[in-house]
Amino acid sequence: MEKPNIKKNDQIELNIEDLSYEGKGVAKVDDFTLFVDNALPGEVVKATILKVAKSYGFAKATEIIKKSPHRVETIDNVYTRTGIAPLSHLEYSEQLKFKQKQVEIDFKKAKLDIKVNPTLGMENPLHYRNKAQVPVRQVDGKLTTGFYRRHSHELVPMENYLIQDPEIDAEIVSVRDILRKYNVRGFDEVNFKGQIRTIMVRRAYYTGEMMVVLVSRVRDISHYKEISAEIMKNKDVKSVYLNINSKKTNVIMGNEMILLAGSPYIDDKLLGHTYRISPRSFYQVNPVQTQNLYQLAIDKAELNGSEKVVDAYSGIGTISLSLAENVKHVTGIEVIEDAVKDAQQNADINKIENADFIVGKTEAVLNDWAKDNRKMDVLMVDPPRKGLANSLIDSIKNLKPRKMVYISCNPATLARDLALLSDTYNIGEANPVDMFPMTNHIECVISLNLK
Ligand code: SAH
């Protein structure tokens, strides 16, 4: 393919033909592909070229010449300029179709002939997130909270984050003001100076309890007793932590976690059970859709009460405990030790006696099970984006659970894994569930039956 004669900062008119999996408009210049920020299929835009690589490039729309009927214009474009809500300019019903189609594309690429059902969406697709991690910087001499401009680490100051629980947004402003009052400085990434890098806030949807974690570059923050006492003046805040991250890294949290005030955890409820959540534990960010997702996964498992179930990648045990009453026994497997402790506590709190939890990598634990010829009837997997390890797929083929339910947050690795399992399993229909409205993230659940 020949590279067209375009270079950075050129202005160019483009016809947008498609939407990429990242939610960018796709345009062609001859055979060359450009990914265009803030542009929707069917639109004609004036764009500025941001970058030209070997076989593709990036641009951003600066003027919409012909508008898509699906463009939402009531939304402040700060949300498409930053990475917080990159699909917020697209009508919600179209977002749901886009996600369904994306799963279909990934399945087709993997040569899988699987029906993909319409995406299960939300009635109110805004302000759903129960967790925020916002970057903190020094802007015009003041500690400031906001979100990164796309393709950069430049902070765009923000107080309303559109997709977060409004109580969390308010708490971030309140913590920001307390830190300002004590002259705490925001992080300076360029010179590696300043103190607070990130504020993390979690708010339990059903109990209203909040946890605040201040992530600091330096170990010593003067006044942190007073600061945490002031944060605790909001009666909903049950827990305040200081996390030390003194490394030059994009990883948000460091290893050291110091409880400054209140309880080490907060409690929430899901499908009638209570859950204890520690600062490091994974906990689903969309509480309304989590219940729908879990219910769908449990329905797809078609349980009759006699099964031995393994819940792999179990986090704080939410799936295990949601289905425990429908099975003989469930074993959760999870690599983060604190999450396993939470899961064990959660079983006790909910008086569930037929669940246990193992610390370890799923691939290692199930490899041992396969060697020992231990049996299970149903395997639930809910892996991170990279999907299942190859060795795990081998162990599954040895263990031969009668049924599998795969919950995936990445359709590309889901398709890859299903293709590998398709010689041993018949694959059911896929159900995308919109866990992350206004973003390009796609969650999907599917069942597999042993041939
Ligand atoms: N099922 C849980 C958690 C899903 S997120 C829920 O719905 O809340 C994925 C989880 O897998 C995280 O808790 C992460 O810590 C864990 N994890 C990541 N890699 C793992 C591995 N190789 N083996 C076991 N757990 C792993």
340-384 pLDDT per residue, tens: 999 999 999 999 999 999 999 999 999 999 999 999 999 999 999
Give residue 384 CA to ligand 1 midpoint distance, Å: 6
Mean pLDDT of 392-416: 98
Residue 276 forms beta bridges with which residues?
267
Q: Which of 335, 336, 361, 393 to mutate to test the pocket of ligand 1 (most atoms within 8 A of CB)?
A: 335
Out of 2.120.10.30, 2.40.50.140, 3.90.226.10, 2.60.40.1180, which CATH number does the structure's domain 11-71 have?
2.40.50.140
User: Could you tell me the two tokens for 60?
Assistant: 């951003």
* pLDDT in the model for residue 176: 98
Question: How many Å lie between the centroid of ligand 1 and the Cα of residue 56?
Answer: 34
From the CA of 335, how far away is ligand 1's center (Å)?
7
Whose alpha carbon is nearest atom 11 of ligand 1? 313
Residue 2 labeled ligand binder: no
The arithmetic mean of pLDDT across residues 408-419, rounded, is 98
Rounded distance from Cα 68 to ligand 1 centre (Å): 39
Q: Output the CA 319–ligand 1 centroid distance in Å.
A: 11
Mean pLDDT of the chain: 95
Q: Which atom of ligand 1 is nearest to the CA of 365?
A: 23
Please tell me the distance from the alpha carbon of residue 252 to that of residue 254, in angstroms, as a whole number: 7
Mutational test site, ligand 1, from 253, 281, 313, 331, max ligand atoms within 8 Å of CB = 313
How many whole angstroms separate alpha carbon 389 and alpha carbon 396?
11
User: Which atom of ligand 1 has the smallest separation from the CA of 333?
Assistant: 24
Is 313 annotated to bind ligand? yes
Which residue's CA is minimally distant from atom 16 of ligand 1?
313
Q: What is the pLDDT of residue 206?
A: 94
pLDDT value of position 4:
75
Catalytic residue among 229, 359, 409, 421, which? Answer: 409
Active site annotation includes 444: no
Options 3.10.450.50, 2.40.50.1070, 2.10.210.10, 3.20.20.70; which CATH number does 131-265 get? 2.40.50.1070
Is 140 labelled a binding residue?
no
Q: Residue 1's pLDDT band (boundaries 50, 70, 90)?
A: low
The pLDDT value given to residue 356? 98
Q: Locate 358 and state its tokens.
A: 């193992």
Counting ligand 1 atoms within 8 A of each CB, the residue from 275, 280, 282 with the most, and so the one to mutate, is: 282
**Span 275-324, pLDDT tens digits:** 999 999 899 999 999 999 999 999 999 999 999 999 999 999 999 999 99
- Burial (CB < 10 A; 0-12, 13-18, 19+), residue 20, is middle
Q: What is the CA radius of gyration of the chain?
A: 23
pLDDT in tens, 119-147: 999 999 999 999 999 999 999 999 999 99
Task: State the burial class of residue 44 (Cβ atoms within 10 Å of its Cβ: 0-12, 13-18, 19+).
Answer: middle
Ligand 1, residues at Cβ distance < 6 Å:
282, 284, 313-315, 318-319, 333-336, 339, 361-363, 382, 384
C-alpha 336 – ligand 1 centre gap (Å)? 8
Give the start-to-end residue ranges of the domains of the chain: 11-71, 100-122+286-450, 131-265
Q: Percent of the chain having pLDDT more than 90? A: 90
Query: Which ligand 1 atom sits closest to the C-alpha of 282?
Result: 13
Equal fold, 11-71 vs 100-122+286-450? no
* CATH code, 100-122+286-450: 3.40.50.150
The answer on pLDDT for 437 being more than 80 is yes
Residue with the smallest CA separation from ligand 1 atom 10 is 313
Is residue 283 annotated as involved in ligand binding?
A: no
